[in-house]
Amino acid sequence: MLLMVGCGSPIVKTEYIKPTIPELPAPPDYYEVTWQKVGELYCVDGRGAKGILKNWELSKDYVAQHQQIFEGLR
């Protein structure tokens, strides 16, 4: 709030400053993972295991982008 005093009544001007919030990052395109049930266990083949690892890295990057936005708003 800005208060200015002159030769009469005081002039008061209230100005609100709002933060600019950047656009949220687009969610990543995840790799398809096919699970196979063997007895009571669920398994993936080598291709599925690579897909899981790639999806994990994509998720970590997606979360990091959100964290940067949140830090920028502090």
The mean per-residue pLDDT over the stretch 12-27 comes to: 86
Percentage helix, strand, coil for the chain under 3-state DSSP, each rounded to 5: 40, 15, 45
The string of pLDDT tens digits covering residues 20-59 is 888 999 999 999 999 999 999 999 999 999 999 999 999 9
Evaluate if residue 4 carries a pLDDT over 70: no
Range of the domain at 51: 30-74
HSE, side-chain direction, 13 A CA sphere, residue 36: 8
Are 51 and 33 spatial neighbours (Cβ–Cβ below 8 Å)?
Answer: yes
Q: Is the pLDDT of residue 1 over 60?
A: no
Number of domains in the chain: 1
Q: Which of 27, 20, 13 minimizes the C-alpha distance to 63?
A: 27
**74 belongs to a structural domain:** yes
pLDDT of residue 7: 64
Domain-embedded: residue 61: yes
Q: Is residue 35 part of a domain?
A: yes
User: Is residue 14 domain-resident?
Assistant: no
Question: Do the domain assignments include residue 69?
Answer: yes
pLDDT of residue 20: 81
